Amino acid sequence: MKGIFPLDKFEQLQTPFYYYDTDLLRQTLRAIGEEAHKHEGFVVHYAVKANANPKLLRIIREAGLGADCVSGGEIEASIRAGFPSQKIVYAGVGKSDWEINLGLDNDIFCFNVESIPELEVINQLAAAKGKVARVAFRLNPNVGAHTHANITTGLAENKFGIDMRDMLRVIDEASHMPYIRVVGLHFHIGSQILDMGDFEALCNRVNDLQLELERHRITLEHINVGGGLGVDYQHPNRVPIPDFKAYFDTYAKKLRLRPGQTLHFELGRAVVAQCGSLITRTLYIKEGQQKRFCIVDAGFTDLIRPALYQAYHKIENISSDEPLLAYDVVGPICESTDVFAKQIDLNAAHRGDLLAIRSAGAYGEIMASQYNCRRLPQGYMSDEI
């Protein structure tokens, strides 16, 4: 055993694979529960798109979180994992009819609606079933998040949500639709956010919009502020659990809820990122003219974040205690972007060594593909192997 990994057990498994530390996941979920429940009316959902591994979903459901879905497939996965449909919210700019019907048939808590054409379709489909759909409008708050450009979602230029200046108009339109009931407002400004000032800016925006609603004597059941809390990719050992206290306290301090109103959160990355590692085996060490390559059997088909977002993941050679050497860690896929890290220090690596690519529990396994006809990686739980 080196560090936190059961190497002897890993030797029996086919690499690459995902390894999930379920103790850490449970501790993380406890921290979320403790910090959120200090504040009245806070309701936490898990953003299923971060990782829909059925075993992880069950652990998260057992901790009492709801499910935030962005597709019919995620609604199905959530129901299979035992999430009560009254705790399922469904967002997405392009909901197709079967997905809306699935939500209606299951009487989900809320559709987070991103346009008037979508609202009209939900009204029609609900009418055909004689049901009333509960909806929240996803507003674009035009609040920037200081994160990678590909993962900001709350700016006017992004495709998500309805322009906040249209809030009253869309609520008025909805009031004429007999199969629609407006129950909330929804926001989500981006991901991997570590600056509480960004969430504070969202709170200020929500406060302004609520004042505008008040002037028109409208009170909604709930406000949903989405997710986006980041994790420490540099220091997965030192900071395994994100600062949920700072996160929930920011909202408690800055966002003014109306009496009886609930505040909903949709956390994805912060729940699952740190509990997961991608374990990969060293195939070859190639000494180049200027570089030393560590060629491993995982590629961007297993973990696409470095190729897609230039994301950093800490990498450790868990088989070696030898002195450090600099490597580019690369995968086998026929694309130049198939690189996990450049010029990083690893304990001297040899064919057969196992590397752990850390903080890979979110947007890892779920984004895996079969490009190059590769097999999908398996996911193993620490309490099962």
> Considering the rule CB under 6 A, would residue 276 count as an interface residue with ligand PLP?
no
> Considering the rule CB under 6 A, would residue 269 count as an interface residue with ligand PLP?
yes
CB count, 10 Å around CB of 172? 12
Total of residues contacting ligand PLP (CB under 6 A): 17
Q: Is 35 helix (H, G, I), strand (E, B) or coil?
A: helix
Nearer to ligand PLP, 89 or 315 (CB): 89
> Considering the rule CB under 6 A, would residue 87 count as an interface residue with ligand PLP?
no
> Considering the rule CB under 6 A, would residue 228 count as an interface residue with ligand PLP?
yes
Binders of ligand PLP in range 91-120 (CB under 6 A): 91
Within the chain, strands assigned E span 17-20, 42-47, 66-69, 88-90, 110-113, 133-140, 162-163, 180-186, 222-224, 262-267, 276-287, 292-296, 315-317, 324-330, 339-347, 354-357, 378-381
- Rounded to whole angstroms, the Cα distance separating 89 from 177 reads 20
Nearer to ligand PLP, 188 or 374 (CB): 188
Binders of ligand PLP in range 159-188 (CB under 6 A): 188
Only one residue has tokens 């580019």, namely 328
- Phi and psi of 323, rounded to 5°? -55, 160
Binding mask 188-207 for ligand PLP (x = CB under 6 A): x--x----------------
> Considering the rule CB under 6 A, would residue 88 count as an interface residue with ligand PLP?
no
In contact, 301 and 333? CB cutoff 8 Å: yes
Near ligand PLP by CB under 6 A: residue from 47, 67, 102, 162: 47
Binding segment toward ligand PLP, per CB under 6 A, in 196-204, 211-219, 225-233, 288-296: 225-233
Nearer to ligand PLP, 304 or 349 (CB): 304
Nearer to ligand PLP, 268 or 377 (CB): 268
> Considering the rule CB under 6 A, would residue 272 count as an interface residue with ligand PLP?
no
Near ligand PLP by CB under 6 A: residue from 103, 161, 184, 227: 227
In contact, 359 and 276? CB cutoff 8 Å: yes
**Among 300, 232, 231, which residue's Cα sits nearest to residue 271?**
231
> Considering the rule CB under 6 A, would residue 49 count as an interface residue with ligand PLP?
yes
Binders of ligand PLP in range 278-337 (CB under 6 A): none
Contacts with 295 (C-beta within 8 Å, 6 or more apart), sequence order:
282, 283, 284, 285, 286, 330, 331, 332
Nearer to ligand PLP, 147 or 301 (CB): 147
Near ligand PLP by CB under 6 A: residue from 21, 35, 68, 99: 68
> Considering the rule CB under 6 A, would residue 231 count as an interface residue with ligand PLP?
no
Nearer to ligand PLP, 269 or 281 (CB): 269
- Rounded to whole angstroms, the Cα distance separating 163 from 255 reads 20
> Considering the rule CB under 6 A, would residue 70 count as an interface residue with ligand PLP?
yes
Helix extents (H) in the chain: 7-10, 22-36, 54-62, 72-80, 97-105, 116-129, 167-175, 196-215, 244-254, 269-272, 305-309
- Rounded to whole angstroms, the Cα distance separating 45 from 61 reads 9
Nearer to ligand PLP, 10 or 251 (CB): 251
Tokens read off for 69: 């879905």
Nearer to ligand PLP, 164 or 344 (CB): 164
Smallest gap from residue 267 Cβ to ligand PLP (A): 5
Smallest gap from residue 46 Cβ to ligand PLP (A): 9
Contacts with 117 (C-beta within 8 Å, 6 or more apart), sequence order:
none
- Residues lying near ligand PLP in the complex (CB under 6 A) are found at 47, 49-50, 68, 70, 91, 188, 191, 226-229, 266-270
